[in-house]
Each structure stands twice: as structure tokens, then as C-alpha cells.
Chain A
Amino acid sequence: MDNRKLRILTRHRASMAGLALIVFLSAMAALIGLLSPHDPVSWRPGEQNLGSSGAHWLGTDNSGRDILTRIFFGARISLFLGVACVTFSAAVGLPLGAAAGYFGGVTDGAISRFLDILLSFPGILLAIAIAAPLGAGLWTVILSVGVVGIPPFARQIRASVLSLREHDFVVASRALGASPTRTLIREILPNAAGPIIVVATLGIGSAILSAAGLSFIGLGVEAGTAEWGAMLHDGYVDPRLHRTLALYSGLAISVAVLGFNLFGDGLRDALDPRSRPGA
């Protein structure tokens, strides 16, 4: 990203606010073990369902665990899941889309139809259908939410490859005898990186949302894990908690997703002049 684009991005107030939210949650996720005196996992009889106090700012849940501590521990899992799902989507989607755009013809036809078929399921429904037979667990979430995220990556890189394929520097690389893989990685990918970064940033937000949704209905992480969707569900079904747990874990999800959406929008504006407001 050159200086001009960086300047546009840093002056984009909303996207800087988004970045601040992401940095804040990441920092809290990293440091919560040092900052909080409470243990996020162990069961503490006699301290269940306490209201908020000096010791427990948001109170405790039905196992006597500090809610605020668990929410920031939840940031570890939810942020990790968001990044892991998007990494999976990119690892599958980018090679597929690049091959479709570069080779064209039958390859393109087959890959594009495959993407059409993935897109013929409503996203969360496909995730549920994949997660149902696998059973709860981190890998289930990564796989099921990751598969849903493949098409945006594949379509974006395919479009970029199509538009770059006939440029002189690509033709030159081919003429020098470079293999398709080398041409794609060394010549095309660097020039197509911008839009992919945008897809990835916005993708993390929606992956966090889907992962929380899966956990909320019991198909995500294993029950009892400090994950926002699962905590929201726990707070939901247990009215004794006065829904504090559900309220704050939902707020945490919204803040994280908002952060990635704001930052992603700003990145897109910085990288693509056409989408800039007022342009």
C-alpha cells in the first residue's frame, strides 16, 4: 500500500475506529490472563449467579465464573475462529479462483459451476449441514464456516487474474518460461492483493458472526467453552442470570464484527477509488 492510500485510510475516521476496536479486543484477549485475578474455567461453588460488584464487575455465571473475564477469554476463541475460518476459505478459494481465471475454458467452467453450487445454499444453512454430522468442536466450526467463505475469495481472485492475464508483464513472465504457479504467485498475486485483503477483513467479521451462530445453536464449539456464541446461549436458557451473560457476550460479538466491518469498508475505500464516498 503506497503512502497516498495509507493517508486515505488513516484519515478515514470510521475505519480507524474499527481498527481501534480490533486492536483493543486483541490486546485484551492477549493480556486478560495478567489483568484479571479470576480463573475463566474452574467451577466455584457458592459464588454462582452473583450480581455486579467490585470483585466481579459484571457478576458471575451459573458456575461462579467471572463474566467479564470469560468475555475477554472468549475474545481469544472468537478472534482465533474468525481468522482461522478466513484462512481456510482463502487457502481453498484463492488457488481455485486463480486456476479458473488463468486457465479459462473447461477448468474455469468446472470451477465456476462448483462455486455456483456452493452459493446455491444459504450460508448458515450450509454451515449447519456440514456441522451436523461432524459434531461440536473447533475444527467443525473452521471447516463449516470456512467452506461457506470460499466463493468470495475465488470470485475476487478470478476477476483479478482475468484482468491481469494479458498484461505485458504477465505475458513476459510466461515467455521467459515461468510455470503458471510461478507467474500467478510472483506476478499476478502482488497486483491482486488489495481487493483480497478487503475480502479477508470483511470475511473475518462475518466468520465471527457465523461461528457464534453455530455455537449458539449448539453446533459450534463444545459446550462450556468460553466462546461468545456459546455464552450467549448459556445466558439465554438460564433466566437466573438476568441475561447479563447473554447481553454482554452479544455485545462483544457485535463490537468485534463492527470493528472488522468498519475497517474493511475503510480499506476498500482506500484501495478502490471508485467506492470512495464523494468520488
Chain B
Amino acid sequence: MTSYLFRRLLFLPVVLWAVSLIVFVLMRSVPGDPAAAIAGEKAPAEIRLRVRRERGFDRPIAVQYVAYLGRLLHGDLGESFKHSNEKVRDQIARKLPHTLELAFAALTIAVAAGLSLGILSAAFKGSWIDYASMTVALAGVSIPVFWLGLLLIIAFSSVLPVSGNLNPIYVPVDRTGFLLIDTLLMGDGVMFRDALAHLVMPALALATIPLAMIARITRASMLEVLGSDYIRTARAKGLSPAGIILRHALRNAALPIVTLLGLEFGSLLGGAVLTETVFDWDGMGTYILTSVRETEYESIGGAVLVLAFTFVLVNLATDLLYSFIDPRIRHGQQEA
């Protein structure tokens, strides 16, 4: 166990380094002159030459990579040239909380609905409830999130705001960057409700895929546990069916669900990119796409890097949590 933990932690910097290498290679494989992307295509040759020298584009690629790594270690993600050289780090610091807020909201919906559907399905296996829940779950993994977003907009556009994070007439005091928390801290109920209303549709759309996955794994895992001897014993003792399911079965069925949660949070970060486009949500996804359109490669690289780092850390945390929940896991001997 300790050696497993140690190896995972030791591997962490390797993964982070590899992620940075991949991002660097991808961003530098852009055809054309990077100096032209910064100075503008029509910039005179001498300005481009100066930019190339100042930014070190004239040096060997390996030297550039080392310089890039050095900047990364100091938390420097580069600059956004088309936005008066604002630091990419500062831009991301503004956008990331919005995406995390969306992802957390979606995960909450997905866990609540997914667990319920999964448990109901397992408890009433073979009944119409089971078929209905599993149909919802199957639809959830097959429907593109951007299409579901459109359906939601058509259905609810009269009652809920369809784009943005907050009505622009409100100016929240930025404490955490999370709008729900900031508006609560301000004690402004109207603004809080507005932020919540903006969050509902994107969160619902983003929640579908993890909801479906959670429902399916909960059902499978519950069915496995419900077939075991100690559940039969509990039944024989005359415990109530609800008590058996919630107190005895769910607790033991929780492991695969916890693992899935970590993985799903990562895919939520990815799915958020598409969802944000549909709802004009001002987060990392919209930021990445705007940067793609404006060929701001340092912004794209920085954003991809930050999201991948978040994903890696969440997965590591889940993995550690997993081995704490279940002492039976012997990570040293797995994968044989």
C-alpha cells in the first residue's frame, strides 16, 4: 500500500512533464511562423525578426523547450497577444472557476439522478422501472451533449436564460470566482438566483453522460452485491428491503462507483468544452475555442495544460480514496 502510494506520487511529475511535452510539441507543430502569429501576418519583416529574437524562436527547438519548461515551473503560461499581452495565467484564473462550478453542478445532478436510477433498476430488476431507467441511461451515452443543449434551449428558453453565466446588469464582487459562492457571500439573493438560473441548463446537459454511466455501473454493482450471501442472511433476518438496499448493499457497491466518479469528473472537464459553446458559458471551453479562432497558441496550450493537470490530480485523488475505502485492495499485486 505505502509503496503503491509512493510509486503513484513518484509517477505524478513524470505524467505532468509528459503532458507539458505533448502540449509544447502540438503547439509548436503549427505550420507557419510563430512570430507572425504574435506580431500579425502583415507585420513588417523587421518587427517579426525582433519578435523572433525576443521570444527565442530563432534558437534550437530543444533550447526553446527547456526555456518553456523553466517558465512553466515559475507558473508562467505565456501571454495572450491579441488581448494586450495579458498573462494567460490571469485569464485562466478567471475562467477556470466558472468551468469547475459548471462541472461540480453537473456532477451533483449526475450523482443524485444516476444513483437513484441505478438503485431503482437493481431493486426492481426486469420490471418496467428497470427498462425505463436503462433506456434513459443508454440514451444518455448516445446523445451528443451539444444537441441535448439545443433541445433544452427549445424546451425551456421561455423560463430559463439560455446563454452566459450571469445577467450582465449584475456585477458580483470577485472573491472565489465561483459565482454561486460569490453572490452568496455578498448576501444578494436576487443575483444568486440569477446565477443559479443560468447554471441549470448547461449543468443538465453536461450531466447526461456521467449520469448514464453512474446509473449503469450502480445497477451492475448493486446486482452483484444483492446476489451475495450476506444479503440473503439480512433478508432472512427480516430486515426491510429498503434498509437492506441502502444500509447493506449500497455501501459495498460503492467502490466501482467512486472510481467512476473520478474518471467522470475528468470527462466533465472535457465535455464542458462543448457544452460551454452551446450556452455561451464563459469558461475554459469557450476560452479554448476563442483562442483557436484567434490562433493564440499560448492560450490554447496553457488551457489544455491546466485542464489536463486538474484531471490527473483528480484521478490520483480518486485512486488514493479508493484504496483507503477498501483495505482489501493490494495494489502491489494487481494487473496480473
Contacts and interface: CB of A to CB of B under 8 A. Distances in A.
Contacts of A243: 150, 154
Contacts of A113: 11, 14
B270 A124 contact: yes
Contacts of A125: 269-270, 273, 304, 307-308
Interface residues of A, number: 38
Interface stretch (A57-65, A128-136, A189-197): A128-136
Interface string B114-155: 000000000000000000000000110111111100110010
B138 A258 contact: yes
B3 to A, nearest CB: 16
B300 A129 contact: yes
Interface stretch (A36-44, A167-175, A179-187, A247-255): A247-255
Nearest to A116: B15
Interface string B294-309: 0001001000100110
Interface string B186-213: 0000000000000000000000000000
A247 B308 contact: no
A213 B308 contact: no
B144 A128 contact: no
A162 B11 CA distance: 24
* Contact residues of A: prevailing secondary structure: helix
Nearest to A209: B144
A218 B289 CA distance: 9
B273 A128 contact: yes
B26 A132 contact: yes
A129 B24 CA distance: 10
A122 interface: yes
B315 interface: yes
Contact of A212 (B144, B266, B271, B312): B144
Contacts of A209: 142, 144
Nearest to A117: B18
B246 interface: no
B292 A132 contact: yes
The 5 closest A-B pairs by CB, nearest first: A122-B270, A250-B147, A258-B142, A133-B30, A257-B142
